[in-house]
Structure 1
Amino acid sequence: MKKRIVLILIIACFSCKNETKSNGKLNIVTTTSMITDLVKNIGGDYVNLQGLMGSGVDPHLYKASEGDVTKLVEANVIFYNGLHLEGKLVDVFEKMGSATKTPIALGEELDKNALIGSDYFASNYDPHVWFDISYFKQFASKVAQVLSENDPANAENYKSNAETYLNELEALQSKIKATIETLPKEKRILVTAHDAFNYFGKAYDFEVVGLQGISTATEAGVQDVQNLSAFIIEKDIKAIFVESSVPKRTIEALQAAVKSKGHDVEIGGTLYSDALGSAGTAEGTYIGMFEYNVNTIVGALK
């Protein structure tokens, strides 16, 4: 019933086209914290930016509240990941797309032939594309393009900010590669709460195994835990990882299953997967999050 009320409100609000800017700036709304950070870097002080999802929020399970409706209605531009990452928001965005404005699904801009397939999502693709930095760079270019089209007066500023940020992402790629190369290939097996790191694995030659599969909407069963514990023992994996946006009890259960068979595996740390860290920290930025994750993974698996 609540979902229906939210959709009705959105349809009603969007029937009256809203092109209002606050203080002469574009009103931008974003979904995930990764996209919020991206738009912050490119939009800078030239936009009014509001992100729907904060630190530790799971986008797979996030539902639009009635309080979100005002933000969405007043937005000049809305950026989201797409590829059904924000599964509970799909109906909302579809209704908006049929009204007066179409939210920008950044993931839909990528070459589908290069994406990893997935039966868990209606898009048939793994949506965790930000873990390939080259894809995030494409996101950055798209954001700069959309902002420039909607605010031509500041197009040069958006272009300049995008160039600066793309250079920072280029430097991040080089730094990450150097760190990972210190880890022998036979030790590059990443076991986490759910399969958020497949693009990371593809980019940096890791075998990635998630206990819950690609979507946190699925639950890990006893057999999943037993099968993965046997895999950990067989491969002599030294560490497994919790995720900040997924309850740690599943990984703790996996650790207990391994120990019950006379073997030991450490919890190597908490990784940021579907959300960034707390605002004001290094991990609260995309670049800081990526560096932290890689340092944590390499340090524990060494």
Structure 2
Amino acid sequence: MPATAVTRARPPARHTVLRVRLLPAVVPLLFAVLTAGCKSEVTLSAHDERLQVVTTTGILRDLVSHVGGDRVRVSALVPDGADPHSYEPTLRDVRNVVYADVAFSNYLLLEEQAVIKALDANLRDGVPNISLAEGAVKYAAEIIPLVEDVSLDTLWLGMRVRGTGTAHGANRSSDVLLHATAVEGPGKLVAYLTKSFGDPSFYVDSTDGFDPSNGYRDDTATLPPDAHTHMSWAFTEPGVYRLAMRAELAVTPDTAPIPMGERVFTFAVGVDPHSVPGMAGAAVLNSGHADISVDLDQGRLYLFADPEGSGEVSQRVYDPASTVIEVPNKALREVPGDRRFRFLGRPGTQVYQLPQAVLGKHVHGEIDPHLWQNVRNAISYVELIRDTLIGVDPQGAAAYRANASTYVGELERLDGFVRDTVARIPPTRRHLVTTHDAFGYLGQAYGIEISGFVTPNPATEPSLADRRRLTETIRNLDIPAVFLEPNLAARSTTLTEVAREEGLRICRIYGDTFDDEVTDYVAMMRFNAESLHDCLGTAR
């Protein structure tokens, strides 16, 4: 094997310190384990002169493997079958990062923030750390906005970070902290996020008070810059609630947070929003999408809302002092029997709830990060990977160029295959209904209409209106099949039930990850094209 230009040396001692959020009592043990692991890795690396490459996902691992060939040893942090939106890195993952010569992430907020922090905090100084989705734009990759098709009849309320905070030194590993510091109202207020398999994670919980001594840690949402998250907002009694919030920017774990404003947000729960004391003439938010937002560039908190649901055209800033968030009586939901949701009350009792809208832990930005669903974008990834590897290992330039050229040719043929296969589906049947908003690029590039993705909130039974809308969409469009990602099938009961009631086929489609059957990118895209053709190409 030809030698690379990289010297495999033991990294500085500072890289044995994990910058991953861990329980303090566990740190000494983990430090010892990691140090022991590093010693064995050094011995192994002395006999392996290949370029050590780490990627965040298996899809990126596969692209790098094709370009790098036998000059690289590549591993992915997120294992096949896992959800990159929610995966938490392990000690082994961090060790791989410590010894990497190159790192590739997708970013655009695709990966769980802990994965990004594991990269940024533990790579050695000078190691290229490439965000492919952003960097590939210079190689002619096309990006599209993330369109979230939610059919809610109440306001969809989340939390958002606007701006980059670069003037304060912020980067993609920085944390923006949105603290709830007090709640006034007739009942309990709980803001929580339902993870992929139904487990709740709390952002605000007034039932146990608010503790300033620990920085309101138990009532804090933590987001990266330029991101937003969905959540459910539950209120146990009707009336007016006032939620006090404070925002901070933590540029690094070692620096004091920078204040970003304090405001009070008013909710009218089951009462007339126009008659809230002290809020005469206030604007009322009761539909579309809104976020409690911190602006890092302006250093203030406000509501950023799209009440008409028409995107950038109607998005605007609302002053919390003159805005009421309505939680109407139609937002009443029964507390489910699942013990995980006893914090809402006894099973069968009713609470007022603005639902999460999108299932799972789903922190993201304004751009759809799933660029690889358009094969032309994957070619741009490959070209950026090629040039990055050449920059680190110039002795391998000829091999990297040859490998990339061969692989690009294969991807160009794949692009034609996907296009031709989808084109054989009658235009009136090119409708994709699935559970995950990961296929916008597939739809745009190859002529598939994204007719809906189902996002039930497992904290409550799906409403009759939700099921009716889905059923009407399927019937009106004469849709013969719905599509489930294998790794997300466990959360897809609503779509599965409706499909069976309507006599539809339930077919597979791959979005973010491989499995034992589909193990590389070309196979994934071929499978998706053939699955769409086979399941949509004939009338039911």
TM-score range, shorter chain: 0.7 to 0.9
Contact 2:485 2:510 in 1 (8 A): yes
Greater RCO (CA < 8 Å, at least 6 residues apart): 1
State the 1:33 CA deviation: 1.0
Q: What is the identity, as a one-letter code, of the residue corresponding to 1:265?
A: L
Change (3 A) 1:220 1:243: farther
> Would you say how many aligned residue pairs link Structure 1 and Structure 2?
287
Q: What is the identity, as a one-letter code, of the residue corresponding to 1:27?
A: Q
Query: Could you say which structure has the higher helix fraction?
Result: 1
C-alpha offsets along residues 258-296 of structure 1, whole Å, 9 cap, x if unaligned?
Answer: 555xx32221x2211110232xx5x21111111111101
State the 1:66 CA deviation: 1.7
C-alpha offsets along residues 106-134 of structure 1, whole Å, 9 cap, x if unaligned?
Answer: 01114399422236654321111110111
What SS does the corresponding residue of 1:5 show, helix, strand or coil?
Answer: coil
C-alpha offsets along residues 60-114 of structure 1, whole Å, 9 cap, x if unaligned?
Answer: 1111112211100000001111111112323334435795545211011143994
Looking at CA atoms only, which structure, 1 or 2, has the larger radius of gyration? 2
Question: Residue 272 of structure 2 aligns with which residue?
Answer: none
C-alpha offsets along residues 211-240 of structure 1, whole Å, 9 cap, x if unaligned?
Answer: 239xxx998972444432321122111100
Question: Residue 503 of structure 2 aligns with which residue?
Answer: 264
Candidates 455, 466, 485, aligned match of 1:212: 455
**Partners of 1:253 and 1:27 in 2: CA distance:** 43
C-alpha offsets along residues 9-61 of structure 1, whole Å, 9 cap, x if unaligned?
Answer: 99x99xxxxx9776222111111111111011111111111122232111011
**Partners of 1:220 and 1:139 in 2: CA distance:** 41
Question: Residue 59 of structure 1 aligns with which residue?
Answer: 84
**Range that drifts further, 117-126 or 291-300:** 117-126
Question: Residue 16 of structure 1 aligns with which residue?
Answer: none
Question: Residue 438 of structure 2 aligns with which residue?
Answer: 196
Candidates 46, 49, 53, aligned match of 1:24: 49
Candidates 100, 108, 112, aligned match of 2:134: 108
Contact 1:27 1:75 in 2 (8 A): yes
Question: Residue 277 of structure 1 aligns with which residue?
Answer: 515
Q: What is the identity, as a one-letter code, of the residue corresponding to 1:105?
A: S
Report % sequence identity.
29
Answering whether residue 372 of structure 2 is matched by residue 130 of structure 1, we say yes
Pairs within 5 Å for 1:18-97: 23-88=48-113, 89-96=115-122
Question: Residue 384 of structure 2 aligns with which residue?
Answer: 142
What SS does the corresponding residue of 1:53 show, helix, strand or coil?
Answer: coil
Pairs within 5 Å for 1:148-163: 148-163=390-405
**Partners of 2:411 and 2:116 in 1: CA distance:** 29
Question: Residue 222 of structure 1 aligns with which residue?
Answer: 462
**Partners of 2:123 and 2:471 in 1: CA distance:** 45
Question: Residue 422 of structure 2 aligns with which residue?
Answer: 180
**Partners of 1:42 and 1:220 in 2: CA distance:** 47
Change (3 A) 1:99 1:212: farther
Query: Could you say which structure has the higher strand fraction?
Result: 2
Change (3 A) 1:22 1:71: farther
Change (3 A) 1:256 1:42: same
Question: Residue 359 of structure 2 aligns with which residue?
Answer: none
Contact 2:431 2:448 in 1 (8 A): yes
Report the TM-score when normalising by structure 2.
Answer: 0.48
RMSD, aligned CA: 3.2
Contact 2:436 2:453 in 1 (8 A): yes
Structure 1: where are the runs of 5+ without partners?
14-18
Structure 2: where are the runs of 5+ without partners?
1-17, 36-41, 147-227, 230-362
Report the TM-score when normalising by structure 1.
Answer: 0.84
Question: Residue 530 of structure 2 aligns with which residue?
Answer: 295
**Range that drifts further, 114-123 or 202-211:** 114-123
